[in-house]
Amino acid sequence: MPTLQRPDGEIHYQTFGAGFPVLLFAPGGLRSRMEMWPAPASGPARPWVDWTQALPAAGFTAVAMDQRNAGASVAAIEADHGWHTYAADHMALMDYLGFEKFHVLGGCIGGSFCLKAAQTAPNRVASAVLQNPIGLHPDHPEYFPDSHAEWTKEQMAARLELNSDALAGFGHNMWDHPFVFCVEQDFVRRCPVPTFLLPGSDIPHPAATSAELAALLPGVEVLKDWRGPDHLDQQRDRVVAFLKANTPAG
């Protein structure tokens, strides 16, 4: 598997197809990794399209990755790390691959990665697809801090060199924020990047968060009924049409 060397670790990635690039951020929270896109052989089927296959078939290059400290990627975890650390990885990967401009498409935590990419490099991100975006659930504000505590236990058990204070600081930077955690409503309200929303409907992907995104994002396209198996074709066709419409000429 190809590897991007970072100053504090390594990021594993794969590319599929040829054409204008789409950087994919897989579902899975802090365990976001490439294997989350295809349905496992033993089932059950995913409710989302496998974009590593659908995008190349539509004439795009799909760039999939294991986020730092997920899947095969391993990197440092410091107290001052946060959403900006992931965004730096994402920009470094596209620099390494030679892609100046690109679309972003993210499921689950990937929706927040998309918004952070749009804030970090709006001149590079041609459009963003937010699939089942995470957010602070009004009735379950403890969900992501609790999930971070479980992830911390996994990391500490696997890597004895890690520091618990650094992991706690990292968790604060990731989750001690409202809304979508990575950016504020003011940025979303003036987001310069065209967006497409596949709304969420459960505790980690609150309907209230998606409704607020739909109300705030300028000109956002929304596909309410998108989950498989009944809506996979429409999900694929609408997202591909959106990406093609926002692909720069030439």
- What's the confidence (pLDDT) of residue 43? 81
DSSP codes, 186-216 = HHHHT--S-EEEE---SSSS-HHHHHHHHHH
Phi-psi region of 73 (alpha: psi -120 to 50; beta: other; left: phi over 0): beta
Confidence of residue 137 (pLDDT cuts 50, 70, 90): very high
- What's the confidence (pLDDT) of residue 224? 98
**pLDDT per residue as tens digits for the range 138-154:** 999 999 999 999 999 99
Q: Where are the alpha helices (DSSP H) in the chain?
A: 51-57, 83-97, 109-120, 143-158, 164-175, 185-189, 207-216, 232-245
Q: Give how far Cα 148 sits from Cα of 8, 38, 154, 183, Å.
A: 21, 25, 10, 19
Of the candidates 75, 58, 55, the one whose C-alpha atom is nearest the C-alpha of residue 14 is 55
Instruction: Report which residue type is found at 226.
Output: W
- What's the confidence (pLDDT) of residue 46? 95
Contacting residues for 194 by C-beta, under 8 A, at least 6 apart:
126, 127, 128, 219, 242, 246
Per 3-state DSSP, the chain is made up of helix, strand and coil in percentages (nearest 5) of 40, 20, 45
Find the helix or strand (DSSP H, E) in which 128 lies: strand 125-131
Find the helix or strand (DSSP H, E) in which 12 lies: strand 9-16
The token pair at 79 is 């107290």
Phi, psi for residue 236 in degrees, rounded to 5: -60, -50
**pLDDT per residue as tens digits for the range 177-225:** 999 999 999 999 999 999 999 999 999 999 999 999 999 999 999 999 9
pTM for this model (two decimals): 0.98
In the chain, pLDDT over 90 holds for what percent of residues? Answer: 97
C-beta atoms surrounding 205 within 10 Å: 22
Say which CATH class 3-245 falls into: alpha beta
In this structure, what is the dihedral angle of CA atoms 93, 99, 101, 103, given to the nearest 10 degrees? Answer: -60
- What's the confidence (pLDDT) of residue 228? 92
Instruction: Report which residue type is found at 191.
Output: C
